[in-house]
Amino acid sequence: MTAESTHMVEFAYEVGFLKRLPRTGWLTAGVANPESVAEHSFRVAILAFMIAASEGADPERAAVLGLFHDLPETRIGDVPAVGRPYVQTAAPTEVVADQTANLPSDLAERIGAAIAEHESAKRPGASTESLCSRDADKLDLLLQAREYQEQTGNIAMSAFIDSMLPLFATHTGKSLAEAAIATSPSTWWNEFASKFGTPAATTRPVRSA
Amino acid sequence: MTAESTHMVEFAYEVGFLKRLPRTGWLTAGVANPESVAEHSFRVAILAFMIAASEGADPERAAVLGLFHDLPETRIGDVPAVGRPYVQTAAPTEVVADQTANLPSDLAERIGAAIAEHESAKRPGASTESLCSRDADKLDLLLQAREYQEQTGNIAMSAFIDSMLPLFATHTGKSLAEAAIATSPSTWWNEFASKFGTPAATTRPVRSA
Amino acid sequence: MTAESTHMVEFAYEVGFLKRLPRTGWLTAGVANPESVAEHSFRVAILAFMIAASEGADPERAAVLGLFHDLPETRIGDVPAVGRPYVQTAAPTEVVADQTANLPSDLAERIGAAIAEHESAKRPGASTESLCSRDADKLDLLLQAREYQEQTGNIAMSAFIDSMLPLFATHTGKSLAEAAIATSPSTWWNEFASKFGTPAATTRPVRSA
Amino acid sequence: MTAESTHMVEFAYEVGFLKRLPRTGWLTAGVANPESVAEHSFRVAILAFMIAASEGADPERAAVLGLFHDLPETRIGDVPAVGRPYVQTAAPTEVVADQTANLPSDLAERIGAAIAEHESAKRPGASTESLCSRDADKLDLLLQAREYQEQTGNIAMSAFIDSMLPLFATHTGKSLAEAAIATSPSTWWNEFASKFGTPAATTRPVRSA
Amino acid sequence: MTAESTHMVEFAYEVGFLKRLPRTGWLTAGVANPESVAEHSFRVAILAFMIAASEGADPERAAVLGLFHDLPETRIGDVPAVGRPYVQTAAPTEVVADQTANLPSDLAERIGAAIAEHESAKRPGASTESLCSRDADKLDLLLQAREYQEQTGNIAMSAFIDSMLPLFATHTGKSLAEAAIATSPSTWWNEFASKFGTPAATTRPVRSA
Amino acid sequence: MTAESTHMVEFAYEVGFLKRLPRTGWLTAGVANPESVAEHSFRVAILAFMIAASEGADPERAAVLGLFHDLPETRIGDVPAVGRPYVQTAAPTEVVADQTANLPSDLAERIGAAIAEHESAKRPGASTESLCSRDADKLDLLLQAREYQEQTGNIAMSAFIDSMLPLFATHTGKSLAEAAIATSPSTWWNEFASKFGTPAATTRPVRSA
């Protein structure tokens, strides 16, 4: 065990806070026990990977941008949309510099660069991977709103869905957003549903030999 | 919107189930409302990135292996350790083949390859990235056990910590595991704690101009 | 630290139980993880303040009546409507006499008087403040039923709303009840909703100087 | 205290895990914080008692079959319908043999026989009590789906309801299933609902004498 | 579908409320999200079965008494110990008469008789089965207090454990209570714990044939 | 129903968000499902009432200051201590001006004045009532930390307790803080605990006449 290991572990514990931090927008809308920032970031990374693969960009790079994009929220929290006129926050790149200050410099630079590239999506000359990651961020929100819409009966979800639709930058992002609205979150397990109560013919006992 | 988009969205909704699936081991041990598989996978990906950077491997590849490693659990669930003698499951590579059957073939191959590489960590000739991802899987469990230990007073957490320690394959993984035991999960925010009730000198009003 | 302080703290810990006590009516109706008695009392106090201001009564007095009105529930619980034919409870004024028995007598008298005045709303010659507090009690239930109705899809909420409407004593209470039915709980944040995914023009970095 | 007592207590603690184990099917469908296997088994036992009484079978035997029927899930978990093609589990009678291995042999035999009889419902020559218990298992799922349908707005519940309907073996089971669909889960407390806010005429103070 | 079926289903929905009703004593003691009355009743029934088998009584009868013993709580709630001096409730047999008023008379009588027999445990000439059921009621509380003690770090659990110990009526009940205090709730899965991170040698792929 | 009523109801729904907003500091420290801002404000108001009564100030005024003091958090959220260097927020008086902009002007002024007076506690010449409300804010945090400390086993609670102690402005606040540390949160119900399992001698059946 070294001082370096200790600092890396402290960083890992700080990252762990994102497992406990709820997404504020869902609280505003009255979703009980909503997803955490970690859960959101998990699917953002996977969606960024998928979008980048379709767009001919680097899927691993895009996934990494999505993975780290909300890291600064361990310090600044998840500022809600209703708070925008009232709250100013340090730039994500500034926050991440503090978060990674004690990490090995190579690692700190890599993480800082991921945040900076994700943030650059809003500016001209952005990398395709940053656009994929940013679209993934919006797409996960839209998918989650659809899930809450069908799973909890919360009628305010349409406000989230409608506000996302015009914001996608990539062709794939736009196309997936439209498909998300047209597809039920329960389609993937629906064919299984017809077998819920039936004896499973495929189930043979284990260990009987 | 295309059939391809619809299939990609169905896959994304299936991925979303990992946000709702609790990690079974914590339930056995009596942790109330434990983390989801998505939350676990989120930090596994970040830890794999960190370990790989230290080990001189490809951090982005390692992160992607960590990100996808529990994907088959949407179908087979999170089989608990107490269930091992009683449950046989299809190989993860078989499950993922079904999960990605309707995706664009390039994307399906990429995801299948990530699962296969992560699983190969148990076999000779494994890539360093797969060892990093596998160590990250164990390290996140250890970190989480430490967090529950200090945050919920659950005295059974030591069983999880002790069973993990001998299992790390990389030098960095071992070193971080030792540091995780020696470091409190609250160290990272402890210096802030002394200022909880004090007027924040740095807080200047926004919008006053 | 004195014996008096210790008794005041014991009382404060007893008050804290209302943070943990769910409102039974919502459980009957199948609302998962419903609000606590403390959360209810919080908005009752604010509503009582608002109604009293409109009615030309003393807003601070009305708020205090609302704040304390469910204090006896630390001992008798929140008896559900379905339990009325089967349960008899001591009068609130009797319960509060026991709860405050060890407090400084001046403080005990003030709290007892607040409970007694709130309870007097059901009898002729009631103070206007007690009518405001009682209307606030009913109005918070109605508002909460509306919130659950739109946020959880629970179709039984209309039974709560309908049973409240005829019970208001003040002009303001009646008028607010009607407005509560006509107004969506999400109206207040709806104008923000259109900006959920957009870059916040008003957000300038902090600490950049 | 004897070794026998210790083994019985270890078994009782293992049974306690069913209080913490969520029913997987509800998680798949997006029900937040769904019922536990213990809660399910509780009503299955009562329903089996009711169905058996109507069918002229032994209500106490049927209740006991329902009570124990999911006991093996402490070891094999609650395998979801989507997992059937991918998961093989040991036979329930094999699992229960391990679970009860240290119990007094008379007790172990009684519990093993209950599991075996419940499982025999799928085979020719099944006892009426096993059919009642198995119908109760399906009926509780249907009732719970109806409750979630009206209480949480989850639109996927119809898939569960529809898949259950054809599966009942007893006349009473069929009849109750049809009635469950036609009856609202809130009917039983609806007549009370009209009195929610009214002073309860029947409530006289206690302890005033 | 008949009127009789409808009434039986209304009763089954009323029983379902016990899945949602938390045990009040745990709320008082600060246990977050405590077990439901249904979860409690589930293990009470199993413990009654076990105790009766050891005492040479009828295990099925004892289980049925335990299963139904808290049924009146759908109407009167779970009155906490702190409420005893302030709350009077109708006798359980009176409540159950109302609850079962619309059931087929044979079924209503059986359920009423179960409640009456369980309640008779406090009086001379009680059946052994009623003593087993009553001891099971106390034993489940003690086991649950031990589980919360080790799983949540709640230091008030000893008050529950200590108050139960003198109250057991049967030899088996006393002996199990002593064993419950001497045995850790995690003993049953402890031997599995050493294998948490290891590749499961017994796991062979399914469907590979 | 008037436009005024509608605006008052919109404000009441905005207030309702505080029932859903968790206190961020507890999330940082790993408290699962922590109290809401509404629950906090409820006890702050009661504690302010108690402290003011002891200090010879106006208890009702102090309670009202405590009741409203966190109202701006519907817009700016609950900024955590770790976020102070990174987040700037509009002054509470500015936020509340927007929150109450559509209320009747008399009511808007009363609420604005309450926020302003509470905030003035940090400045020279503060009213005694504002000092009582501010001390109540800190005292509730300390009491809650003590409750989590004994009820959840979270070992980080001492950081919260220690940071509060030097910050009290009133004699009563200081004295209660010391008593809070010396007194167990379970003392108030401890005498009842010895009667948990005993037949309640005082419980006579209701409705038997």
- Residue A202 banded pLDDT, cuts 50, 70, 90: very low
Return the sign of the alpha-carbon dihedral for residues E104, E106, E107, E109: positive
In this complex, the residue of F43, F63, F178 whose CB is nearest that of residue C16 is F43
- C-chain residues within 8 Å CB-CB of F64? 49, 59-60, 63-64
Flag whether pLDDT at D209 surpasses 50.
no
Q: What does DSSP assign to residue E156?
A: T
Taking only the tens place, the pLDDT of each residue in E145-180 is: 999 999 999 999 999 999 899 999 999 999 999 999
CB contact under 8 A, F16 and C185: yes
- Residue E198 banded pLDDT, cuts 50, 70, 90: low
Among E19, E75, E86, pick the best mutation site for testing chain C contact (most C Cβ within 10 A). E86
CB proximity list for E201: less than 8 A, separation 6 or greater: none
- Residue C201 banded pLDDT, cuts 50, 70, 90: very low
pLDDT along chain F (209 residues), means of 10: 92 98 96 97 98 98 98 91 89 96 98 98 96 98 98 95 93 98 94 59 44
In this complex, the residue of D32, D72, D80 whose CB is nearest that of residue B77 is D80
Report pTM. Answer: 0.95
What residue of B is the nearest CA neighbor of D36? Answer: B27
Give the burial string for B143-166 (b: 16+ CB within 10 Å, else e).
bbbbbbbbbbbbbbbebbbebbee
Q: What is the mean pLDDT of chain D?
A: 92
Q: Give the pLDDT of residue A80.
A: 79
Q: Could you tell me the CA-to-CA distances from A139 to A66, A152, B15 in Å, in that order?
A: 12, 19, 13
Which of C140, C91, C145 lies closest to C118, judged by CA?
C91
Are the C-beta atoms of F186 and E159 separated by less than 8 Å? yes
What residue of A is the nearest CA neighbor of F92? Answer: A86
Pairing assessment for the beta strands E87-89 and C87-89 based on DSSP bridges: antiparallel
Question: In the block, which residue shows the tokens 């009202």?
Answer: F64
Q: What does DSSP assign to residue C36?
A: B
Q: Give the pLDDT of residue A198.
A: 52
Are the C-beta atoms of C12 and F43 separated by less than 8 Å? yes
Q: Give the pLDDT of residue F205.
A: 52
Q: What does DSSP assign to residue A106?
A: H
Q: Name the minimum distance, in Å, from the CA of B114 to any CA of chain E.
A: 19
Q: Which helix (H) or strand (E) holds E89?
A: strand E87-89
Residues of F with CB under 8 A from a CB of A: 17, 20-22, 24, 27-28, 30, 32-33, 72, 74-80, 82-83, 85-90, 94-95, 98
Six-digit token string for B6: 């619809």
Taking only the tens place, the pLDDT of each residue in B62-78 is: 999 999 999 999 999 98
Which of B156, B31, A20, A37 lies closest to F29, judged by CA?
A20
What residue of C is the nearest CA neighbor of E17? Answer: C28
Distance linking the first and last C-alpha atoms of chain F: 47
Which of E114, A200, A155, E151 lies closest to D91, judged by CA?
A200
Residue E147: CB atoms within 10 Å: 22
CB proximity list for B201: less than 8 A, separation 6 or greater: none
- How many residues in total does chain C contain? 209
Average pLDDT rounded to a whole number, residues D134-159? 97
Are the C-beta atoms of C47 and C173 separated by less than 8 Å? no
What residue of D is the nearest CA neighbor of E38? Answer: D39
Q: Which helix (H) or strand (E) holds D101?
A: none
Average pLDDT rounded to a whole number, residues C157-182? 95
Domains and CATH numbers, chain A: 3-199 (1.10.3210.10)
Residues of C with CB under 8 A from a CB of D: 25, 28-33, 81-82, 84-85, 87-91, 94, 122, 138, 141, 152-156, 159-160, 162-164, 167
CB proximity list for C106: less than 8 A, separation 6 or greater: F53
Q: Give the pLDDT of residue A148.
A: 98
Which of E61, E70, E60 lies closest to E39, judged by CA?
E70
Q: Give the pLDDT of residue B206.
A: 58
- F-chain residues within 8 Å CB-CB of B143? none
Flag whether pLDDT at E194 surpasses 70.
no
Residue E22, phi then psi, degrees to nearest 5: -75, 150
**Residue spans of beta strands (DSSP E) within F30-128:** 87-89
Whole-angstrom distance, CA of residue B29 vs CA of residue E151: 7
Taking only the tens place, the pLDDT of each residue in C18-32 is: 999 999 999 999 999
> Which residues partner with A87 through β-bridges?
F89
Which of A141, A149, F74, F104 lies closest to C188, judged by CA?
F74
In this complex, the residue of F89, F138, F154 whose CB is nearest that of residue B151 is F154
Whole-angstrom distance, CA of residue F186 vs CA of residue C14: 9
Flag whether pLDDT at D184 surpasses 70.
yes
Q: What is the mean pLDDT of chain B?
A: 92
Instruction: Chain E: list its partners (3+ Cβ pairs within 8 Å).
Output: B, C, D, F
Whole-angstrom distance, CA of residue D12 vs CA of residue E51: 11
In this complex, the residue of A25, A88, A163 whose CB is nearest that of residue C204 is A88
Virtual torsion, Cα A119, A124, A129, A132, nearest 10 deg? 80
- E-chain residues within 8 Å CB-CB of D87? 206
Q: Give the pLDDT of residue F84.
A: 85
Flag whether pLDDT at C76 surpasses 50.
yes
What residue of D is the nearest CA neighbor of C24? Answer: D196
Q: Give the pLDDT of residue E80.
A: 79
Instruction: Chain A: list its partners (3+ Cβ pairs within 8 Å).
Output: B, C, D, F
Average pLDDT rounded to a whole number, residues A70-92? 91
Provide the residue-wise pLDDT of chain B in tens; the chain has 209 residues: 689 999 999 999 999 999 999 999 999 999 999 999 999 999 999 999 999 999 999 999 999 999 999 999 999 998 878 888 899 999 999 999 999 999 999 999 999 999 999 999 999 999 999 999 999 999 999 999 999 999 999 999 999 999 899 999 999 999 999 999 999 999 999 877 665 555 443 344 554 33
Question: In the block, which residue shows the tokens 């030098």?
Answer: B171
Residue D86, phi then psi, degrees to nearest 5: -115, -10
Among A39, A190, A191, A192, pick the best mutation site for testing chain D contact (most D Cβ within 10 A). A192
- E-chain residues within 8 Å CB-CB of F185? 30
- What is the ipTM, given to two decimal places? 0.94
Flag whether pLDDT at D192 surpasses 80.
no
CB proximity list for D40: less than 8 A, separation 6 or greater: D23, D70, D140, D141, D144
Q: Give the pLDDT of residue F197.
A: 56
Q: Give the pLDDT of residue D80.
A: 79
Q: Give the pLDDT of residue F79.
A: 83
Q: Give the pLDDT of residue C80.
A: 79
CB contact under 8 A, E63 and D59: no
- C-chain residues within 8 Å CB-CB of A28? 189
Q: Which helix (H) or strand (E) holds C43?
A: helix C37-55
What residue of B is the nearest CA neighbor of E31? Answer: B32
Pairing assessment for the beta strands C87-89 and F87-89 based on DSSP bridges: unpaired
Are the C-beta atoms of A183 and B10 separated by less than 8 Å? yes
What residue of E is the nearest CA neighbor of C26? Answer: E20
Flag whether pLDDT at A123 surpasses 80.
yes
Q: Name the minimum distance, in Å, from the CA of A204 to any CA of chain C.
A: 38
Q: What does DSSP assign to residue A63?
A: H
Are the C-beta atoms of D66 and E42 separated by less than 8 Å? no
SS3 at position E87: strand
Residue F198: CB atoms within 10 Å: 12
Q: Could you tell me the CA-to-CA distances from B88 to A203, C66, C76, D77 in Å, in that order?
A: 10, 59, 52, 12
CB contact under 8 A, E74 and C82: yes
Q: Give the pLDDT of residue F192.
A: 72
Count CA atoms closer than 13 A to D82's CA, side-chain side: 24
Average pLDDT rounded to a whole number, residues E119-146? 97
Percent of chain D at pLDDT exceeding 70: 91
Are the C-beta atoms of A185 and B13 separated by less than 8 Å? yes
Six-digit token string for B78: 């999170």
Instruction: Chain D: list its partners (3+ Cβ pairs within 8 Å).
Output: A, B, C, E
CB contact under 8 A, B193 and F81: yes
Q: What is the DSSP string of chain B?
A: --HHHHHHHHHHHHHHGGGT-B-HHHHHTT-SSPPBHHHHHHHHHHHHHHHHHHHTS-HHHHHHHHHHTTTTHHHH----GGGTTTEEE--HHHHHHHHTTTS-HHHHHHHHHHHHHHHGGGSTT--HHHHHHHHHHHHHHHHHHHHHHHHH--TTHHHHHHHHGGG--SHHHHHHHHHHHHS-TTHHHHHHHTTTTS--TT---SS--
Which of B147, B74, B148 lies closest to B111, judged by CA?
B74
Q: Name the minimum distance, in Å, from the CA of A199 to any CA of chain C.
A: 31
CB proximity list for B77: less than 8 A, separation 6 or greater: B21, B24, D24, D77, D78, D79, D80, D83, D87
